[in-house]
């Protein structure tokens, strides 16, 4: 039974629950969900003398106090209480991700198909988390919130701030359930909220212990003061923070150019637009970090922005190392809502796992599958000879000479052949199945501009940094298929190839598949997983007037050459992609959007399953 199955009853009472929450929030009141959690749009305080009583300060808006937001009632404040302990914020953030993704795939959303719902990745980027070990944006790097006073203030609860639309309020129940289970899984006892009271605070609440550097998207754009703790940070912490910011914009060089050119030109250089995003998005993000502001209609760098630009220039190697650390430690989402179809086909002979020539006796109760027959017979004959000579294998010296003599004596003896015992059996040692190298075939058509191509580029960097695997990348657009990266582990070569990827034009899928297979054959790659990432259907023909038919024809070669194949696509193109993987004898994943954590999780899972020899029968999740 799944963790969230108990929430199925929500579908029968969802409208009433949403109305109750909206009504209470409008009045500035808080709610208790379960026995451990308080939710409101106000600040919560607790007095050490009465830890079971939570006070909601009805005149202290959470958005205004935490994020300097001008409008009230925009930010939800969620606190899940537990005993005084350090709850791992990364594992808690993983629990939040599982809850959000399960909420999106739950059947209760069938009623909301026509509503405008944000994508799961967008919702996670509008959530911040903090525990006694640290925090940050749930969809970010989680390398923030390390200030001692901030961690001490959260030693008895998991804090979440979120900006949720009304049609997503029911996700609160999923969050609470997932966090309570994760807290218990870490060996920490959850605590009951005995009483919830509401009162007005005398003056503005003192939240200085809560102030810290954060990568939040909830900050009010253009409001100064977000970086008031920047000067207090040690140099190492500043470099770590700059590394996290630079990773958001595609690297140190990209961010340095943005800070140099935006105030003077007011535009983004064309060669980094696909990594950084469009102009309005970049300005919004830089303003949220308090690096950029508008003065009399002109973009200018803040004092913090000038200091960050200086760090990018003078500490280049440290920032680059920090970015590699962040990519390597990217949290993996264990459960992603997706549609799965198909399974891997049989591998070619040279790709099948082999056994070692080394042998060993079986362990107690072990099933004997890979029996080394010659070595087993030799062991049985040696034992029989030693027993006839009055010796036992335990007292005899196991040398090559003794074994050869015993073999000759046993074969020349007229006595009956010895019986095989379990102790005589020898098994081959299996060589561990190494996940294959990855050949990424990426759709670089115009529809991939923006967050989709950024997610694909992040996947390439992650495979090179975290998995240390040889990576091949081919892109297809218009009538052009380019080998951007040719089977290498070199980070420098991979980064140069990533920077060359610029989406534009139509989708020549047939040409992409054909060129990828030709490249695999020409380089004689013996153990490779071909991964197709595309957000559309083919729009450029190759052999006939029908682009879709040409793509299906090209897919037949994948099955004929027995190349393990998986495809990651989007929901609107599911029917065509299903035909494609059926012909190619591959595996299909259909997701709602290409987020970087989604692509990383699926490709890493595909590598492992391909190495083990295939997926379980197809199913839809």
Could you report the average pLDDT of every consecutive run of 10 residues in the chain (621 residues)? 62 79 90 92 86 89 85 92 90 89 68 62 89 86 75 91 89 92 92 90 61 69 50 77 82 88 81 73 80 83 90 91 81 63 62 61 77 85 79 49 50 58 80 74 88 88 85 91 91 89 90 94 87 90 90 92 90 89 90 82 82 47 37
Assess whether 479 and 542 both reside in one domain: yes
103 and 183 fall within a common domain: yes
Q: What are the φ/ψ torsions at residue 51 (nearest 5 degrees)?
A: -65, -15
- Judge if 198 and 235 occupy the same domain: no
Does residue 442 share a domain with residue 578? yes
* 494 domain residue, yes or no: yes
pLDDT on residue 136: 86
pTM of the model: 0.68
Please state, in angstroms and rounded to a whole number, the distance separating the CA atoms of residues 501 and 524: 25
Residue 222 lies in a domain: no
Beta strand extents in 142-261 (DSSP E only):
157-162, 195-199
Asked whether residue 88 falls in the same domain as residue 150, the answer is: yes
CATH number at residue 494: 3.40.50.410
Same-domain pairing of 414 and 454: no
Long-range Cβ contact pairs of 116-124 (< 8 A, separation 24 or more)? 116/167, 117/165, 117/167, 117/168, 118/165, 118/168, 119/592, 119/593, 119/595, 120/337, 120/592, 120/593, 120/595, 121/593, 121/595, 121/597, 121/598, 123/164, 123/168, 123/171, 124/96, 124/97, 124/100
Structurally, how many domains does the chain consist of? Answer: 4
Quote the tokens at residue 16.
């009433």
Q: Which of 372, 395, 430 is the last residue of a domain?
A: 430
- Angle subtended by helix axes 451-462 and 316-328, to nearest 10: 90
Domain assignment of residue 566, yes or no: yes
CA dihedral 144, 148, 149, 154 (to 10 degrees): 70
Asked if residue 330 lies in contact with residue 575, where contact means CB atoms within 8 angstroms, the answer is no
Report the candidate in 19, 71, 81, 74 with the shortest Cα–Cα distance to residue 44.
81
Residue 295 is part of a domain; what is its CATH number?
A: 1.10.10
276 and 418 fall within a common domain: no
Strand, helix or coil for residue 244: helix
Domain boundary at 414, 430, 446, which? Answer: 430
Domain holding 252, by residue range, is: 230-328
Residue 225 lies in a domain: no
Q: Work out whether strand 480-488 and strand 37-40 pair parallel, antiparallel, or are unpaired.
A: unpaired
Q: Is residue 100 part of a domain?
A: yes
Q: Is residue 317 part of a domain?
A: yes
Do 317 and 244 lie in one domain? The reply is yes
Same domain, 438 and 416: no
Same domain for 552 and 473: yes
Instruction: Tell whether 143 and 259 lie within a shared domain.
Output: no
pLDDT of residue 617: 38
For CA atoms 525, 441, 472, 468, the dihedral sign is: negative
Within-domain flag for 442: yes
Kindly state whether residues 39 and 74 are assigned to the same domain: yes
Last residue in a domain, options 157, 176, 210: 210
Question: What pLDDT sits at residue 10?
Answer: 67
Question: 618 lies in a domain?
Answer: no
Integer Cα distance of 613 and 600 in angstroms: 20
Instruction: Indicate the SS3 state at residue 224.
Output: coil
């Amino acid at each position: 039974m799944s963790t969230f199955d108990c929430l199925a009853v929500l579908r029968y009472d969802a409208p009433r629950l949403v109305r109750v929450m909206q009504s209470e929030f409008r009045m500035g009141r808080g709610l208790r969900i379960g026995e451990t959690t308080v939710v409101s749009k106000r600040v919560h305080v607790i007095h050490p003398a009465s830890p079971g009583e939570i006070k909601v300060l009805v005149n202290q808006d959470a958005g205004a106090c935490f994020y300097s937001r001008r409008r009230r009632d925009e930010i939800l404040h969620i606190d899940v209480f537990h005993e005084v302990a350090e709850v791992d914020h990364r594992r808690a953030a993983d629990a939040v991700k599982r809850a959000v993704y399960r909420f999106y795939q739950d059947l209760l959303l069938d009623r909301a198909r026509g509503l405008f719902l944000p994508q799961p990745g967008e919702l996670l980027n509008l959530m911040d988390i903090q525990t006694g070990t640290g925090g940050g944006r749930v969809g970010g790097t989680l390398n923030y919130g390390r200030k001692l006073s901030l961690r001490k203030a959260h030693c008895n609860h998991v804090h979440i701030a979120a900006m949720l639309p009304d049609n997503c309020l029911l996700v609160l129940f999923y969050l609470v359930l997932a966090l309570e289970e994760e807290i218990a899984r870490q060996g920490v006892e959850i605590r009951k909220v005995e009483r919830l009271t509401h009162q007005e605070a005398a003056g503005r609440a003192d939240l200085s212990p809560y102030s810290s550097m954060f990568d939040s998207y909830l900050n009010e754009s253009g409001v100064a003061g977000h970086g008031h703790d920047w000067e207090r940070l040690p140099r190492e912490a500043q470099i770590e923070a700059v590394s996290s910011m630079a990773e958001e914009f595609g690297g140190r060089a990209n961010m340095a150019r943005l800070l140099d050119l935006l105030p003077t030109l007011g535009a983004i250089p064309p060669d980094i637009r696909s990594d950084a995003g469009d102009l309005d998005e970049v300005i919004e993000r830089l303003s949220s970090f308090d690096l950029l502001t508008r003065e009399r209609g002109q973009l200018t760098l803040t004092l913090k922005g000038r200091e960050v630009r200086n760090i990018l220039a003078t500490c280049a190697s440290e920032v680059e190392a920090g970015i590699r650390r962040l990519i390597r430690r990217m949290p993996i989402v264990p459960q992603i809502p997706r549609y799965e179809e198909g399974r891997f086909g049989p591998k070619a002979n040279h790709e099948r796992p082999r056994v070692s020539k080394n042998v060993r006796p079986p362990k107690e109760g072990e099933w004997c599958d890979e029996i080394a027959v010659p070595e087993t017979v030799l062991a049985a004959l040696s034992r029989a000879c030693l027993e006839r000579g009055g010796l036992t294998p335990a007292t005899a010296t196991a040398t090559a000479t003794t074994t050869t003599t015993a073999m000759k004596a046993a074969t020349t003896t007229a006595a009956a052949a010895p019986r095989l015992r379990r102790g005589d059996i020898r098994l081959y040692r299996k060589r561990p199945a190494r996940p294959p190298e990855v050949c990424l075939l990426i759709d670089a058509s115009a529809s991939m501009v923006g967050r989709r191509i950024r997610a694909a580029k992040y996947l390439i960097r992650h495979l090179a940094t975290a998995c240390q695997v040889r990576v091949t990348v081919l892109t297809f657009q218009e009538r052009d298929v380019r080998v951007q990266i040719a089977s290498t582990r070199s980070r420098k070569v991979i980064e140069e190839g990533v920077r060359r990827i610029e989406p534009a034009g139509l989708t020549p899928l047939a040409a992409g598949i054909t060129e990828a297979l030709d490249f695999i054959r020409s380089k004689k790659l013996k153990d490779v997983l071909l991964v197709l990432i595309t957000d559309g259907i083919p729009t450029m023909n190759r052999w006939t007037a029908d682009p879709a038919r040409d793509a299906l024809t090209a897919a037949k070669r994948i099955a004929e050459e027995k190349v393990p194949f998986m495809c990651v696509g989007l929901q609107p193109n599911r029917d065509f992609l299903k035909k494609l993987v059926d012909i190619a004898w591959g595996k299909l994943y259909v997701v709602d959007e290409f987020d970087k954590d989604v692509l990383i999780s699926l490709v890493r899972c595909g590598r492992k399953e391909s190495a083990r020899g295939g997926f379980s029968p197809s199913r839809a999740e």
